[in-house]
Structure 1
Amino acid sequence: MSSVPQVKIPATYMRGGTSKGVFFSLEDLPEPAQVPGEARDKLLLRVIGSPDPYGKHTDGMGGATSSTSKTVIVSRSASQSAQASHDVDYLFGQVAIDRPFVDWSGNCGNLTAAAGAFAISKGLVDPDRIPDNGFATVRIWQVNIQKTIVAHIPISNGEVQETGDFELDGVTFPAAEVQVEFLNPVDASEAMFPTGQLVDTLDVPGIGRLPATMINAGIPTIFLNAQDIGYTGTELQDDINGDDEALKRFETIRAHGAVQMGLIDHIDQALQQQHIPKVAFVGKPSDYKASSGKAVSANDIDLLVRALSMGKLHHAMMGTAAVAIGTAAAIPGTLVNLAAGGGERQVVRFGHPSGTLKVGAEVSANTGAWLVEKAVMSRSARVLMEGWVRVPGDAFQVSKCEKAVDSIPPG
């Protein structure tokens, strides 16, 4: 029996916020995978270990959850492009666990902190921009959503500082704090509220008519009231993820919401775009115990938020969804704002399954439309392992018929 030897590809395994993924420099990828297309998707699927009918990712670098089935490609920003004022381009691929599919439709806010640190460590940022000590400001062009993100990376003795005493709920050990700014997450030409309403009615067959705030900030997100769908907002992962019927209801809500937000034309297309929109539900502050056993007091939070990612309740909170939470909380009248007590607010601290998170947003109203200048939050990042990943040499081969098709997916 003939066999194809494995190939070695330089890679770094990193945690960013409450997520982790496999990071690549674009120039280190095999040539067929340096451009968008089937070869790149096949390579990343094999690296992660998908599709895996066992749901374990035993034969890959993935962790069999939406938070750990992630890939990142970083490169110097193209000098002849509109994003020439940026240091690096950051492309994110969310790898499906049980299907041969890589979703390029959205960003991962958590891994943004790691993208900046990775770029410095790999020499992708101009050395003149790196201080001996202090903070390096890395200007990131987020390729998936065509937006600017600024990461403030701590530097010690000219190198990225990863250790520190900043604690992030959902992450076991403390690390150095990385402040991340999402600039103009919604362009003036875009509709922050695709339906035109701060609170709309989402009519879902078999479920009913649900008040919903559908917002496009950070990542398209559908916010529901916890009580309207039979929850309190204090639920942990097992309360939702162990209930197949509940997960089906959330996916049905997500599909119909995607249509109403104009993200897809028909609910059948939702399966091919699992990364967006997110579905989240909110509730008024209440005491609860986080997944670690830590007590969260109602007095320490403004509201409760639980969010689903890739069909499952997230163990903490996605960074991009936190942008949506902070933005919606700052706009009087949204379900998020009302759950937080209403009124004007620039910062909220919300409770999630692993603890709490603070996020801020600067918004303004202009001729009846809401604009958000930036959303800010703190994360942390750390290299877990670096070296090479190995994949069979034929893992990213493209069939002859596919080579003849000039098809480039988003990203």
Structure 2
Amino acid sequence: MNLRDKKQCSLSAAYYRGGTSRAVFFREDDLPPDRKAWNSIFLGVIGSPDPYSRQLDGMGGGISSLSKVCVVGKSQHPDADVDYTFVALGVKTSEVDYSSNCGNMISAVGPYAVDTKLIQVPSEATEASIRIHNTNTGKIIRATFPVVDGEAASDGSFAIDGVPGTAARIQLDFLKPAGSRTGKLLPTGNVTDTFDGVTATCIDVANPCTFVRASDLGVDGNLTPDEIETYPGLLPRLDIIRRQAGVRMGLASSPEAVPGSVPKICLVSAPAGDGRAVQQKQTASHIDVLARAISVGQPHKAVPITVALALASAARIPGSTVSKCASEKPVDEAGITIGHASGNLLVGADFTADGALSAATVYRTARRLFEGRIFWKGGSA
């Protein structure tokens, strides 16, 4: 074999934590113009497929929240500063999924745009507000965060459950987030539907999501991710429900064709009796609803931000599976407090007088971990 055949490929890249996830970031101009070439690059960089589920030969971490790529570039959208394309990579499989947004990683998009000078911020500025066009859903998200000497600030006093320590607070305003893929808040036209004998609410806010009550499946709402994974038959049944919901929502023509990443599916339950919560502060008096989300077939260690946004919206819809579980009087007037597997999350949802969802807000943190060149075997750049 020619030595040249063994040479690794490389591209400029960065690695960021965004909320409770991590991803490799590429500048769109650095990638091949032909998007068909992207898949092999992303799989090689992340280290998929890996039959051992470790992604040891790449930058992934063996779970869905660490098997991600973000592509950022100057936006052609009149209401945005940058375009952001999210890519979810399979861990054991070679799936490359462009069908959804990632609310956690979007918290790093604004800082990335500023840090890489894609968006110029005056050196004397103390705050930046970046309008992000998510190409997966066509929606606009506004990220507001502190800056220092022309770069995104990392130090701060804001903490999020699931991430140790504190950092600078990033405010994410999802503008008119309803109908991200289907064009409707309630894609099926119903507040509830029945799939595999289970009542579910299908809602499309930031991402299409399906919410089912844990009690309707005969399980506790406070199961840990490990317990969900090992509970006999639970994950396969949730996937059956999710795929049937995906067809009813118009995301695919058959259950087999439903993407792995959407619709998301989430177990919800009332907060009462959460004696086995991960954190002592996660008690019935501190949360409005319990949520256990499944992301790309795996129980999420926290809660995907897009699921949290959809849940907060569903909680405001009378008769939904979420509203039947949520506290009638929120513990925080700013929104709904969700108890997830790693702690709590406060999400705000604003509705207009006619009941339309105008915006949803959540707060996260993010940090640049490295930037330089990233290498992979095979493929081409």
Match of 1:228 among 195, 212, 216: 216
Q: Normalising to structure 1: TM-score of the pair?
A: 0.87
Match of 1:114 among 108, 115, 126: 108
The gaps in structure 2 that reach 5 residues or longer are none
Name the counterpart of 2:310: 324
1:55-95 CA distance string (max 9 Å, x none) = 110100001111000000000112xxxx1331100000000
Secondary structure, counterpart of 2:375 in structure 1: strand
Shift of 1:303: 1.0
| Greater alpha carbon shift after TM alignment, 346-355 vs 65-74 | 346-355
Taking a change above 3 Å as real, the CA distance of residues 231 and 118 of structure 1, as seen in their structure-2 partners, is same
Name the counterpart of 2:375: 390
The gaps in structure 1 that reach 5 residues or longer are 398-411
The answer to whether the 8 A contact 1:346-1:362 is kept is no
Task: Tell me, in whole angstroms, the C-alpha distance in 2 between the residues paired with 1:235 and 1:187.
Answer: 30
The answer to whether the 8 A contact 1:132-1:159 is kept is no
Taking a change above 3 Å as real, the CA distance of residues 126 and 85 of structure 1, as seen in their structure-2 partners, is farther
Task: Tell me, in whole angstroms, the C-alpha distance in 1 between the residues paired with 2:233 and 2:201.
Answer: 23
Letter of the structure 2 residue corresponding to residue 19 of structure 1: S
Is residue 2:355 matched to residue 1:361? no
The answer to whether the 8 A contact 2:98-2:136 is kept is yes
The answer to whether the 8 A contact 1:221-1:324 is kept is yes
Letter of the structure 2 residue corresponding to residue 117 of structure 1: P
Which residues of 2 match residues 256-267 of structure 1 at below 5 A?
256-267=244-255
Task: Tell me, in whole angstroms, the C-alpha distance in 1 between the residues paired with 2:231 and 2:71.
Answer: 35
Task: Tell me, in whole angstroms, the C-alpha distance in 1 between the residues paired with 2:353 and 2:295.
Answer: 30
Secondary structure, counterpart of 1:141 in structure 2: strand
Which residues of 2 match residues 5-404 of structure 1 at below 5 A?
5-29=7-31, 31=32, 34-37=33-36, 39-78=37-76, 83-127=77-121, 130=122, 132-186=124-178, 190-202=183-195, 204=196, 209-243=197-231, 245-270=233-258, 273-286=259-272, 287-291=274-278, 293-342=279-328, 347-364=335-352, 366=354, 370-392=355-377, 394-396=378-380
Shift of 1:245: 2.3
Shift of 1:290: 4.3
Task: Tell me, in whole angstroms, the C-alpha distance in 2 between the residues paired with 1:243 and 1:69.
Answer: 24
Letter of the structure 2 residue corresponding to residue 153 of structure 1: F
Taking a change above 3 Å as real, the CA distance of residues 119 and 64 of structure 1, as seen in their structure-2 partners, is same
Query: Stretches of 4+ moved more than 4 A in 1?
Result: 342-346
Letter of the structure 2 residue corresponding to residue 182 of structure 1: F
Q: Normalising to structure 2: TM-score of the pair?
A: 0.93
Letter of the structure 1 residue corresponding to residue 214 of structure 2: A
1:324-376 CA distance string (max 9 Å, x none) = 0111112232221221134898610010000000000012464xxx5210000
Task: Tell me, in whole angstroms, the C-alpha distance in 2 between the residues paired with 1:294 and 1:57.
Answer: 33
Task: Tell me, in whole angstroms, the C-alpha distance in 2 between the residues paired with 1:278 and 1:299.
Answer: 27
Taking a change above 3 Å as real, the CA distance of residues 66 and 187 of structure 1, as seen in their structure-2 partners, is closer
1:2-41 CA distance string (max 9 Å, x none) = 3330122111111000110000111222x3xx3322x101
Secondary structure, counterpart of 1:262 in structure 2: coil
Task: Tell me, in whole angstroms, the C-alpha distance in 2 between the residues paired with 1:16 and 1:99.
Answer: 24
Name the counterpart of 2:6: 4
1:123-160 CA distance string (max 9 Å, x none) = 11143xx5624320000010110000000021123321
Taking a change above 3 Å as real, the CA distance of residues 294 and 172 of structure 1, as seen in their structure-2 partners, is farther
Letter of the structure 1 residue corresponding to residue 132 of structure 2: I
Taking a change above 3 Å as real, the CA distance of residues 85 and 365 of structure 1, as seen in their structure-2 partners, is closer
Letter of the structure 1 residue corresponding to residue 72 of structure 2: V
Task: Tell me, in whole angstroms, the C-alpha distance in 2 between the residues paired with 1:288 and 1:28.
Answer: 50
Secondary structure, counterpart of 1:298 in structure 2: coil
Taking a change above 3 Å as real, the CA distance of residues 364 and 200 of structure 1, as seen in their structure-2 partners, is farther
Shift of 1:247: 1.5
Task: Tell me, in whole angstroms, the C-alpha distance in 2 between the residues paired with 1:69 and 1:194.
Answer: 28
Aligned residues: 375
Provide the alpha-carbon RMSD of the alignment: 1.9
Letter of the structure 1 residue corresponding to residue 217 of structure 2: I
Taking a change above 3 Å as real, the CA distance of residues 149 and 220 of structure 1, as seen in their structure-2 partners, is same
Identity within the alignment, %: 37
1:230-266 CA distance string (max 9 Å, x none) = 1221111111112362211111111111111111111
Task: Tell me, in whole angstroms, the C-alpha distance in 1 between the residues paired with 2:232 and 2:45.
Answer: 29
Secondary structure, counterpart of 2:11 in structure 1: strand
Task: Tell me, in whole angstroms, the C-alpha distance in 2 between the residues paired with 1:8 and 1:312.
Answer: 30
Taking a change above 3 Å as real, the CA distance of residues 342 and 364 of structure 1, as seen in their structure-2 partners, is farther
Secondary structure, counterpart of 1:234 in structure 2: coil
Secondary structure, counterpart of 1:120 in structure 2: helix
